A and B are shown apart, each in its own frame.
Chain A
Amino acid sequence: MSLTKLRKPQNDDVTAAALLAPRSQRRSVITRRGRIGWAFVAPFGVTFIALLVIPLLYAFWLSLNTNTLAKGNQFTWFHNYGQAFTDPLFLEGARFVIVFSLILIPFQMLISLITALIIDELANKVARISRLLIFIPYAVPVVIGAIMWGFLYSPSFGPMGEIFGFFGLNAPNLLSADGIFWGLVNIVTWQWVGYYMIIIFSALQGLDPSLFEAARIDGASKLQIALRIKIPLVAPALVLILVFALIGTLQFFTEPQILRSLAGGAITSGFTPNLYAFNLAFVYRDFNYASTISFALGIVVFIGSYIFLSASRKKSGL
């Protein structure tokens, strides 16, 4: 910062500062400027403390307590966490979101990367229109996306039978216990690929075309240019997407919660950790244990994405 370049005192500093040596005069400008900086940040700072720091601390405190009918409220240290990590419902939900991320995210990223590369390369009318069409699901609220797909999957009035029948196949029931995994993969892919595609596409548009011209003159094919030059150069965008997708998938809630009423028994109360925490709080009224699950999940996501980001920081320049 180049604050020291500026010596001119402001009006209300004049009386005091004029009498002082230049050094302390300069300092008074700096502290004044500093206070103004804080003033700009303060409104956000207050909401940050009131709505992030305090709720988290409070939830942490709740998670250290156990409330039973017999004994009332008791401080039980990390008892709840011990219970969580041996609770089959929680572990099953955690296992589900991890497996789900491992399959969904690479798939999603591959589609959005390929689409972005094609749209960037073609740059014609088809590309411009499909860019918009592919992005539109992002404008649809997740709840509505889940409702639409739930109806589309429905064996009683969805078109799945027709569509698969057209290719001579039997329609899978994506609302059954076996099919729900792929049903959810499809919904999330549909909703987010367009958004990721736009991020990658913008990064591609920001590249200097002379980089590819040189490679093309040297006889590199389009595929080689894409693989060797374009993809490495948009790596920061890819890392960003990966982190967004990971944070989003680990806290998976809305889609399974909405599909629950359509999918019968396929989605259990502990289907994902967030769904489990929600049901613990609002069905079983166990806020201590619900806070524990919520907090444990938050910590895992936070540490996971932090480690991932700092590990890839050097590589990607993010």
Chain B
Amino acid sequence: MTSTTPRTIPQRTRSSRPNKSHSQGAGDKRSIGRNVVLIGLSIYFLLPMWWLVVASTKSNRGLFSGTAGPLWFDQDFNLVDNFLELFSQSNGIYWQWLGNSLLYAAVGGGGATVLAVLAGYGFAKYAFRGRTVAFALLLGSVMVPVTALVLPTFVLFSAVGLNNTIWAVILPSLLTPFGVYLMRVYAQDAIPDELLDAARIDGAGEARIFFTVALPLLKPAVATVLLLSLVSTWNNYFLPLAVLSDPKLFPITVGLGQWLQLSAASGAGQQLWNLIVTGALVSIIPLIIAFISLQRYWQAGLSLGSVKS
């Protein structure tokens, strides 16, 4: 079984199997059925996004009692007003949240990638004392649930006074055992030992070998680990919710969650529904664009995880 396990090579392109066209024969009834299944599924997966786009053009009143129902536009087109209101609400705190999310993702996700590349390369290409034990420890930690670390991190950070600072979010994001694991698996095959030895014989130092020989070969895996850690930092909710109390430091996820809580609190609550909807739409657009334009990278990259070690 092991020998037939797919080893996905990153340079594989999407249409690398020419002998597939046989299934597209005209009049194949079952193939029509399968197309319909796919279209149906696509509609289901797209429906909430469609609703979000439509709802972001409505005022608070329109959301509750629109003229055309929840899935179609109102007579009253309120998108621009909603957008302007996002700037004025609490001195434009929404944009501050968006900026915070960007900062946390860039520093946390970027830093995590740097650490993972270095460590993965070290594990793959140097036989140092304790390597086996250290790597076993790392593999075990991949299975430690992330949220199990949130409260421990919170209590530790309150002991050292780090809570309610940007570092309380950034530092824990630097840890990606899974990224190191992916990097090691990839570096093992992508960098031939002979190449490193040849560079050493030519007198290159280890640092120079890493930057000029190894790093270019690791590019696809670097892109993958970067993408995965950017997404997980951008998505982060539990950790910032626990360690931050100053609204000015919130990432977008915690901020919108708080608006939701405020609006839902009966009676005294502020009605921010239209802002939540428009804010949610604005915050996912960059990610969706990034995913669609970087398709080539994550498609090859996500499959790395399913390759055996």
Contacts and interface: CB of A to CB of B under 8 A. Distances in A.
Nearest to B150: A294
A145 B52 CA distance: 10
Given A136-B49, A147-B276, A207 B242 contact: no
Nearest to B178: A244
B122 A41 contact: yes
A157 B235 contact: no
A13 B37 CA distance: 67
A58 B134 CA distance: 21
A108 B200 CA distance: 50
Interface string B267-309: 0000000001100100110011011100100111011011111
Contacts of A64: none
Interface in B138-155: 138, 140-141, 143-155
B73 interface: no
Interface string A233-262: 111110010010001001101100110011
A306 B48 contact: no
Given A58-B155, A143-B237, A240-B306, A122 B34 contact: yes
Q: Is the interface of B mostly helix, strand, loop or mixed?
A: helix
A40 interface: yes
Contacts of A298: 144-145, 148-149
A127 B72 CA distance: 27
A241 to B, nearest CB: 8
A297 interface: yes
Contact of A147 (B69, B152, B154, B256): B256
B38 A132 contact: no
For A144, A257, A258, A278, the residue with the greatest tally of chain B CB atoms inside 10 Å of its CB is A144
A317 B309 CA distance: 9
Nearest to A4: B127
Contact of B152 (A58, A133, A137): A58
Interface stretch (A18-26, A75-83, A193-201): A193-201
Contact of A281 (B5, B42, B145, B151): B151
B35 interface: yes
A305 B63 CA distance: 44
B193 interface: yes
Interface string B184-196: 0000000001000
B119 to A, nearest CB: 4
Interface stretch (B13-21, B80-88, B215-223): B13-21
B19 A209 contact: yes
Contact of B299 (A144, A150, A198): A198
A6 B197 contact: yes
B172 interface: yes
16 contacts: A1-B127, A133-B46, A137-B45, A137-B48, A147-B276, A148-B48, A151-B277, A156-B64, A202-B8, A202-B302, A205-B17, A240-B305, A253-B237, A278-B242, A282-B242, A298-B144
Interface of B: 1-2, 4-8, 12, 14-17, 19-21, 23-24, 30-31, 34-35, 37-39, 41-42, 44-49, 51-52, 55, 63-64, 66, 69-71, 114-116, 118-119, 121-123, 125-129, 131, 134, 138, 140-141, 143-156, 159, 171-172, 174-175, 177, 180, 193, 197, 200-201, 203, 205-206, 210, 231, 234-235, 237-238, 241-242, 252-254, 256-257, 260-261, 263-265, 276-277, 280, 283-284, 287-288, 290-292, 295, 298-300, 302-303, 305-309
